[in-house]
Structure 1
C-alpha cells in the first residue's frame, strides 16, 4: 500500500511534525530553519511512507557514531516518527520501521537507537530497552564541596568552541554508550532558540592548560509546568577528574543567590549525595532509548571486556531475515564475532540479544525472566552488564 521514499517537501515534513507533536508557533519558527538545513545534510535522511502523493507517515534517519562496549560504531538514530491522522493504525509506521533496517544495513550501521512513543510497539519490531538517566532537582545552596587546592579556570560561552567539541567527543568515545556529536548537533545547540529561552550557555573548565570538563545549561520558561516557571537546567555535566568535578559544583553553588533550584540530567549511576548537605527535592530514573541490532555480522570486531568463549544462539528476527537462524557467538582476544552455525545452546529473539550485546542485561538474567531458552549444552557463557547512557538527544 505504501511507497518508501525520501521527502522532498520541507513544508509537508513540517506540517506532519507540527500536528503530531503539537509544536507551538515559537518553536515552529526555529524548527523550520533547522528542517531546511536537515534536507541539505547528507547525514540526515527525512523519509516518508507515501500513499500515492499523500505523506502518510515520516521519520528522520540520522547517521551517527556511538560508543558500544569498548568500540565506537556506526549507528542510526531514528527521530521525529509521526503519522498523519488519516493513517493512524494503518501500518504506515510499521512499514517505515521495517524498511529502515534495509537502509541502515546498506549504510553499514550496526545498531539503531530510538526514543519510543510506545515501547511495546517497538519491541515487536526488534528494539529493546537500553539507556536511562538520572533526573534531579536540588537547591544550589545545598552543594558542599572541599576547598579548591588546584586552580581550575572557568570560561562561559554561547557556542561551543573547538576545545569543548573535542573534549566532548573524546569523552563520549570512552564513557558509557554516549553518542558522538557531529557539526549539525553543535550548530543546532547554538542556533535553536525560542521565545521561552532566557539563556543557553556552555561552560568550559581547564586545568593546567587542558580542558578537563564541560557543563551546558539552559535557563528557560518551562511551558510544561502549570505555572510556566523559570527553570535552570543542566543538560551536560562531564568531568575528567574529581578536581574538575568539584570546580563544576562550585560553579553551580555560586548561582545560589539567583537560582532557586538546579534541574540536572546525569548518568544513572552518578553518585550525587556526597556533594549535597540535604536530600534533593526530586530524584528519578528516566527511561530513554531503545536499541536494536541491525546486522549481527556488522558487529564483528566489536571490542568487549570478556573472556574467550563460544556459544551457539538460535535467533528469531521477523523483520531482518539476515539475522534469522542459528549463529555462533564467539569472543576471542576481546573481540566479538558472529558466524552462521548448525547447533545452538541458547534461543532468543533479536530484541533480547540486542539488550545483552548492548550491556543492558545478560543471558543469565534473561534466562531467569524466560526471555532466553537454554539447552542442556549451555555452560553459562555470558557477557557482563554495563551502564548504558546515551546523553545526546536526537
Structure 2
C-alpha cells in the first residue's frame, strides 16, 4: 500500500540514504549532523510502501525579488525515487502535493533546477534563467592599469555582511534573485575550498566580490559580482594575476554578461546554459503583489493550469487592482507562459508570435507597457 506523508526528524536518515543512492554521493560522517540540521529547515514529502520510503521531494522556504517587491518562494529540491519504484506516478503525486502545500503557505511562486526541462514543463514550470559559462586561456589574461582601492581575501564563514551588502545592491538590477541569509552564505555559496575576494574602493566601501578557487592549473570563478566598472576592472585584474599559476580560467556569469566584449580576443569558448525554471503557484496572489507600472486601461488575462485548478480563471488587471474578469475578452495563455512573461524571461512579442499567447496585439502591447523590464538572473543552486 502506498502512503504519502510529511517527513519528520525520525525519517531523516532514510531521506539521506535515498539522496545518496539517487544522486550518487556519500555524506561524510563529520558533515552528517550539519546535514540533519539543514533538513530541519526543509518541508519534505515522501511516499512510503510498507512503511519504507520510496520517493521524496523537498520544499525550501525562501524569497526572491521581482521588480522592487519580494515574493515568498517555494524551492523544489531533492526529488528522488528508488529505481524499482520509478515511472509509477510517485513524483507526479509529490509535485501536486508540493503545489498545494506552497499555496497554503502563501508561496505564490516556485523555482527548481530541472533534471529534464520538458518533464517539468508538463507540470507548469517554465525555463526562466540561464547562465553564461566562459572558458579562457592564459593568453586571454591581460591587465588594466592599476586603479584605486584594494582587494581583501576573506576565509570560510567570514565577511557575510560585507558580501551580502554588495550582493543586495547588485541583485536589485535583476528579477528572480534569491534573498540570502547568514545560513545560506555559510552553507550554500561555494564554501568548499572557495576564496571570498572583495574589492573595496578608496573610501573602504565594498563594491564587488569573487567566489573562486585555484586548483590543478584552473581558476574556477563561480560568482563575479560588481557594482561599477572600477570594481569590475579590479576583480578582473585579480583574476589576471593568476597567469603564472593556471592554464585556464572558467567563469560563470548571468545570461546578459558582457565579459567577452571587453577581451582583446573575444573569440573564447562560451556556453549558454539553461539553468533554472519557475512557475506561478497562486496566480491571484501573485498578481496582487506584482509591481505593475502605470496601468492606463484594464487588461484581462485568462489562465489555464492543468495542475492547479484554483488558477483556472480570468484576471482583470486595472487601476483598482486585480479582480475576476470576463474570459470572453483579453489574452489567453497557460501558466508557464504567464510565468515567463511576468518575469521578463521571454519578450512578450516572441510569446505572441509563437502562439503561446492568444488575443489582440493591442492588449499584448498594453500589458508589455506595465510589466517589469529587468533582466532575469539566478546564480544560486538547490
Query: TM (normalized to structure 1)?
Result: 0.87
Alpha-carbon distance change, 339 to 173 in structure 1, aligned in 2, over 3 angstroms? same
Question: 1:119 and 1:386 mapped to 2: Cα distance?
Answer: 24
1:283 equivalent in structure 2: 270
Q: Does structure 2 conserve the Cα–Cα contact (< 8 Å) formed by 1:78 and 1:113?
A: yes
Per the alignment, residue 325 of structure 2 pairs with: 341
2:178 is matched with which residue? 179
Q: Secondary structure at the match of 1:382?
A: helix
> Secondary structure of the equivalent of 2:194?
strand
Aligned to 1:267: 254
1:142 aligns with 2:136: no
Asked if structure 2 preserves the Cα contact closer than 8 Å seen for 1:204 and 1:214, the reply is: yes
Residues 51 and 358 from structure 1, CA distance in 2 versus in 1: closer, same or farther, beyond 3 angstroms? farther
Q: What SS is found at the alignment partner of 2:99? A: helix
Q: Which residue of 2 aligns with 1:354?
A: 339
Offset of residue 304 of structure 1: 4.3
Deviation at 1:79, TM superposition (A): 0.9
1:105 maps to what in 2?
Answer: 103
Q: 1:22 — aligned with what?
A: 24
Structure 1 382/138 Cα, relative in aligned 2: closer, same or farther at 3 Å?
Answer: same
Alpha-carbon distance, 1:34 to partner:
3.9
Distance 1:113 1:309 in 2: 31
Partner of 1:224: none
Asked if structure 2 preserves the Cα contact closer than 8 Å seen for 1:7 and 1:47, the reply is no
Aligned-pair distance for 1:110?
1.6
Partner of 2:298, secondary structure, is strand
Contact 1:140–1:254, Cα closer than 8 Å, also in 2: no
Call closer, same or farther: CA 1:277–1:376 in 2, change over 3 Å: closer
- Output the CA distance in 1 between the equivalents of 2:322 and 2:340: 16
CA RMSD, 1 decimal: 2.5
Instruction: Please report how far the alpha carbon of residue 276 of structure 1 lies from its aligned counterpart in structure 2 after TM superposition.
Output: 2.1
Q: Find the counterpart in structure 2 of residue 125 from structure 1.
A: 123
1:312 to 291, 300, 305: 300
- Of 275, 291, 312 in structure 2, the residue corresponding to residue 324 of structure 1 is 312
Q: Contact 2:54–2:85 at 8 Å: present in 1 too?
A: yes
- Give the number of equivalent residue pairs: 373
Instruction: Tell me if the contact between 2:196 and 2:209 (Cα under 8 Å) persists in the aligned partners.
Output: yes
- Which of 238, 242, 246 does residue 229 from structure 2 map onto? 242
1:371 aligned to 2:356?
Answer: yes
Per-residue deviation, residues 109-156 of structure 1 (Å, max 9, x unmatched)? 121000111212211111111100100011354233531342334334
Matched, 1:210 2:205: yes
* Cα contact 2:175–2:343 (8 A) shared by 1: no
The equivalent residue for 1:196 is none
Residues 1-38 of structure 1 show CA distances to partners (whole Å, capped at 9, x for unaligned) of 44131243222111111111111x4x555763442112
Gaps of 5+ in 2: none
2:245 alignment partner, SS class: coil
**Following the alignment from structure 1 to structure 2, what is the Cα–Cα distance between the partners of residues 379 and 181?**
35
Retained in 2: the 8 A contact 1:67–1:174? no
Q: CA deviation at 1:284?
A: 0.5
**Deviation readout 1:341-391 (Å, 9 max, x if unpaired):** 124311111111111111112443222112122159846323365421111
Contact kept in structure 2, 1:139 and 1:280, CA below 8 Å? no
3-state DSSP class of the match of 2:106?
coil
Q: Give the Cα–Cα distance (whole angstroms) in 2 for the partners of residues 266 and 190 of structure 1.
A: 15
